[in-house]
Structure 1
């Protein structure tokens, strides 16, 4: 059997993360599907993830599980609280009955929010600054967290983790990337603090590591914890690939079980993570706010740069992290064929996260296992990104 054939075979072999056995190497990436009206998971979200379960995915991720109400980007997102226990328990139980494990993506928006139900006048980030997402709601700025706010945030992560384990999640994914709350502390671009939470790399990593310790304390040593990072923010003065190696080493030493090597930032340069068709035209087409449409027209070309799609576009940099850590490695970014899946197995990655390709091919694992020459139908047009706030939820517009 050739190396490629071995790699393909490995894709469909079982593997484990901190004792959690997965039936194959495919994991659904965490995304916000806009299928939680008023923040409550229901039939639409059940059907979406149920279809993926029936299609053979080993573990699906419920995206953007905010750790508190003010941690949501908008009021339609879920946050972890007792009021949704019955719905979450039923959803996870159904997915388990279909043979699929379930991960929950723990997230907080920090200073990037358009949530009309904020308890405060402004969202809170590491430093005072602009809140680009809140433009349409008149929320132009974010305020800096006090030390008391930081302590409260850590406690929110702890409490959310206790709750999420109790409703049946099999793993938790802490979102350290994409320009959201913890990433804002990690990045010198957004963290201008002068205290022990800002300045040096060690200080900027203080809160993320405290959050990881709190979540680990909440769930115990034998529960899988994953970290999603941005290997680069793709902006001057932000996090870059060399930083990602040091970030990963710290997370590995602190006991993370797996690292997901993503990239880009939703707040400044989202196209680094998407690649392919530019998302700006679709956003202009679907954005309801006149103010936001004007802002997109004025700043769109600088924020939404063109990055042509090619397979495995993060592989070179992700391999550098693979060589620097001992925890499990989960690749995401431009894997849409059996040839690419095999390459990732051959290069020492343990699991593969899939996002856009599962919108076009929700039965991808089953189809890929049945066809050695499988190539996803996804055209990487990125039109699906513009459906993220569609009434029917995120979906492929091509098939």
Structure 2
């Protein structure tokens, strides 16, 4: 269901081939449902089952006129867009990524006017800002804060949708319960209406799996380890309750499930040993490139060109560009280390910090949580002169780990070190 202009099929095929090279046996055209259920698979010796079928069905929007010709659902359209005759004007209902995909497909099919209408305001639309901006570049018009009331038509064919302006989407308890401005009625005319308000799953493949705990919306309840209420059955991706927000989340679910399945089959829980340590950096360390190199956005195919093709919207940096942008890394695992015994409180570090992240203050001026109070009281006990002592306060939100303070410190009280972490599975 992901358009080729967003995720090329060639890339997906490369990933599939890499999985096959690991020895995974992929059986195609083998639906699990009426003739063969998941229960059958377990009886045939499959000791673990991981359900990742996604949300393959459209969320039904119960509107008058939904049966008219020219009305289709977003997920169906994305799958078989070439079979749909759009006409000149296309109206997409929905504010998420699938709605954007549908609208961009419609532009590429030659629709002269493409609109997206949704309940949410522009700022609150589920689609990302970059997706919305890409769509605008392609001439797609957004009509936010509109709630569809009925689909209108003529002689069995859709002609548009009647909307009311949205007053609120959620009630005081936070439940989805849209309210509208009664007098604010408008009709958007269209030759084709695409309903992309969400996806669901009827999970026909779960026949014979009584006892599998599910939500009222048809999602499988699974824990953070992807295990379900049935031993040996795991679930992840969109079909899992609190489903994945994107492909990255779905891949993460797969990795978690793999570890859980390994534990289930072997009877041994995978344990990870993590060891963190600090390693000193060279005295001449500097990291000022993050400030001196201009940030660049990922290059994109020009809108006038991409609307004529299914080729990927986002292009890649040239090698030199990629190296330059990688050099902007702030190296957040790098940290300043202060040696109190060497500090002269001369203020050189404060004076040289261009981001004002360091400040020298008297102990009597330091306020904070219980830990800070405990520290200041300890200092007072250690030294009667503590009230006249000073301390260096660092604002971690301002520090960019450039290393200038360490290089300029005359007493060598500041050094730079990097935090490293090693993982070992056993």
| Range class of TM-score, shorter chain | under 0.3
Greater fraction strand: 2
* Structure with greater Cα Rg: 2
How high is the TM-score relative to the length of structure 1?
A: 0.28
Greater fraction helix: 1
How high is the TM-score relative to the length of structure 2?
A: 0.26
